[in-house]
Structure 1
Amino acid sequence: MKLALGIGLIVALSGCSVLQSGRSLLSGQARATFDGNYYPARLAADKEDGRRFAVTVNRVSQGLNGAKEAARYEASKFCIRNHGWSGIDWTVGPDTPDGSLAIVDNKITFSGECRGWV
């Protein structure tokens, strides 16, 4: 009986750590969080020039700085996977002054171009 309770406790606690780690219960993959929040982001590459992209981040109302970092993260992942380097020349990016950024329907879109190997 004690063994069964011990095993049950271990299983229960391991489940809690999965939830706190930010992993999706459905996919089991970790979700990146910024300032403690999850910002869904979608990146679209330009069809004519695969180095150019636009990344749209949702839930900006959770915090603009977190949304900016979510965009930087998605863009860096894209550039590394597809072009071997994390260097980005931003057209509108995370370092653009806040007053110059357009937030529409709780979303913000950034754009840039992967530099590739120098």
Structure 2
Amino acid sequence: MKAAWAAAAVLLIVAACGRDELDTVTYEGARFAGDLSFERGDRAAFVATGGPASVSLEGAKRAASYQVVQHCIAYLGSSDVAWANGPDVEDADLVIQDDRVVLSGRCIEP
């Protein structure tokens, strides 16, 4: 019984460690974390963030974009995106909140 609890604890720790690696992008030697949110009723629409923007705007945009591609493929089967505020926006026009780049748009259904 103790062995089963120990094995379960190890699996939880390993699973938790692995998740952080899936949410990070390395750009020019620095690590950038990304996150994405959406409403259950409309999974195609999203808001993604990446940062820290103070280290590199390009790295932060890549981290957020990575989250978008993963989300769109997982839920709609395509990586096509119609950006409302995307990574192609001029750096001066980017939305930045709490040292994180904010991207938004909709996944395009195939």
Q: TM-score range by the shorter chain?
A: 0.7 to 0.9
The within-5 A match list for 1:19-98 is: 27-28=17-18, 30=21, 31-98=24-91
Q: Which runs of 5+ in 1 are unaligned?
A: 1-23
Q: Which residue of 1 aligns with 2:100?
A: 107
Higher strand share: 2
1: distance between equivalents of 2:18 and 2:82?
A: 33
Q: Deviations over 1:4-30 (max 9, x none)?
A: xxxxxxxxxxxxxxxxxxxx9x61464
Q: Secondary structure at the match of 2:27?
A: coil
Q: Secondary structure at the match of 1:99?
A: helix
RMSD between aligned alpha carbons?
1.9
TM-score by length of 1: 0.69
1:69 offset after TM fit, Å? 1.0
The letter for the 1-side match of 2:83 is W
**Percent identical residues:** 32
| Paired residues, number | 93
The letter for the 1-side match of 2:41 is E
Q: Which runs of 5+ in 2 are unaligned?
A: 1-13
2: distance between equivalents of 1:107 and 1:81?
A: 24
TM-score by length of 2: 0.74
Q: Deviations over 1:18-54 (max 9, x none)?
A: xxxxxx9x61464431232221121001343210000
